[in-house]
Amino acid sequence: MNRTRSEQLFAEALKYIPGGVNSPVRAFRAVGGQPFFVNRASGAKIWDVDGNELLDYVGTWGPAILGHAHPKIIAAVKAAADHGTSFGIPNPLEVTMAKLICERVPAVKKIRMTSSGTEACMSAIRLARGFTRRDKIIKFDGCYHGHADSLLVRAGSGALTFGNPDSAGVPPAFTQHTIVLPYNDEDAVTACFAANPNQIAGIIVEPVPGNAGLYLPQPGYLEFLGEITRAHGALLIFDEVMTGFRLARGGAQERFHITPDLSTFGKVIGGGLPVGAFGGRAEIMDCLAPLGPVYQAGTLSGNPLAMAAGLANLAELEASDAYAKLEKLGEQLAAGMRDAAKSAGVPVQVNACGSMFCTYFTSAPVHNVADAMKSDRERFKKFFHGMLDAGFYFAPSQFEAGFISTAHAPADIEKTVAAAAKILRGL
């Protein structure tokens, strides 16, 4: 596949942008080779700057749930842009968006917009600490909630481990109140609350972790997290930046029938424009400035273009049979990949939930990040590049989720599975 222009652009980018990218995962460091550059996308397809057409299973990491450049989103953004791009003054679309989310997600009685998922998660944690007047936060290894200092931690040895910074530039003092536990392990959470009485402000969790590939909550696990936080006066924060409005009309909390105290959102609610949001119980949200003592702010929070794009995305999801279609496409891809791997005799675990999926190259089931780490990354690399050369763009890391959109057709899935079968046979 000719990628001359991408190579020229990457060489140029390296002169001015660290690693040549504005977000590390785009750099292909986990799969080798160089990233390609895209300047056009439509529906389920992207075209790189050399004109190569690819079927896209990343969907800009989630926002493109209707596919790229959906006519209704483009029209909404153009119409909004004609009236200005930012006011720094309340605009009507912010009210429409807030009302819509509160109507769609019963656990959210009030909501605050931000410009990224990182901001949303960082703010939700500050709010949980301010509301409970407690400092400690539990997160789970393998779960990613953006790059705020206190969240860039992973478990050290042992279960009741205080996090050690996972990035240079984060002083240990900034992560000393972050406890990292294994996901899907109820005993670890029970022991942690016992060891830290009245000190834990809350648990933040991806209800379906999609940042170490994809794995699912064990039956009863999310219910357990709700029960134990309530029992100890802590808050349950669902990070639905990736799952929100994707895994169901009301997100993972609707799919799994859980009522978290706070929820964070992003991606889909911005329709591809910069957005994040956090919301939940009114008495908690009312602790936020200007009403309460927890400060949080953002120049572009509730930006009219992002609101217009997000509202168009959410309206179209509501108006169409999107969720039924996404479920069927997700099932078709997962079943096809499993059959292809079995026929090729390659040990693969295909984890899927609705339109999110991950293909791990391992024979053992994957229920947490420790299981995911057993995946054969060399095989994944070969699979990734084989699929890319065949015209299918999967997430450029074993530890990322894939995303299907309503713009994907059953025939696209069939072609994808056929290509995968051929490549798997050669692994």
Q: How many residues bind ligand KE4 (CB under 6 A)?
A: 19
Residue 291 has a CB neighbour count (10 Å cut-off) of 10
User: Active-site residue 187, yes or no?
Assistant: no
Q: What's the closest the beta carbon of residue 298 comes to ligand KE4, in angstroms? A: 12
Identify whether 290 is preceded by a cis peptide bond (ω within 30 of 0). yes
Closest CA relative to residue 97, chosen from 313, 337, 420, 397: 313
Q: What's the closest the beta carbon of residue 393 comes to ligand KE4, in angstroms? A: 14
Cβ proximity to ligand KE4: between 24 and 233 the closer is 24
**Which residues 38-97 are close enough to bind ligand KE4 by CB under 6 A?**
61
Cβ proximity to ligand KE4: between 23 and 299 the closer is 23
**Contact with ligand KE4 (CB under 6 A) among 180, 234, 242, 306:** 242
**Which residues 269-288 are close enough to bind ligand KE4 by CB under 6 A?**
276
The pair of structure tokens assigned to 306 is: 């992002």
**Contact with ligand KE4 (CB under 6 A) among 5, 7, 14, 25:** 25
Q: What's the closest the beta carbon of residue 274 comes to ligand KE4, in angstroms? A: 8
Cβ proximity to ligand KE4: between 142 and 336 the closer is 142
**Contact with ligand KE4 (CB under 6 A) among 6, 118, 263, 416:** 118
Q: What's the closest the beta carbon of residue 288 comes to ligand KE4, in angstroms? A: 19
Q: Which of 48, 56, 239, 261 is catalytic?
A: 239
Q: Is 371 exposed, middle or buried (0-12, 13-18, 19+ CB in 10 A)?
A: buried
> Whole-angstrom Cα distance, residue 298 to residue 123?
11
Residue 353: strand pairing partners? 356
> Whole-angstrom Cα distance, residue 231 to residue 279?
22
User: Active-site residue 166, yes or no?
Assistant: no
User: Active-site residue 261, yes or no?
Assistant: no
Phi-psi region of 366 (alpha: psi -120 to 50; beta: other; left: phi over 0): beta
Residues 25/26/32/34 CA torsion (nearest 10 deg): -160
Instruction: Compose the 135-164 pattern: x for residues touching ligand KE4 by CB under 6 A, - for all others.
Output: ---------xxx------------------
**Which residues 338-397 are close enough to bind ligand KE4 by CB under 6 A?**
none
> Whole-angstrom Cα distance, residue 27 to residue 43?
24
The sheet carrying 110-114 orders its strands as 110-114, 276-280, 262-266, 235-239, 200-205, 136-140, 178-181, 161-162
Provide the binding-site residues for ligand KE4, judged by CB under 6 A.
Answer: 23, 25, 61, 116-118, 121, 144-146, 206, 210-211, 239, 241-242, 266, 276, 400
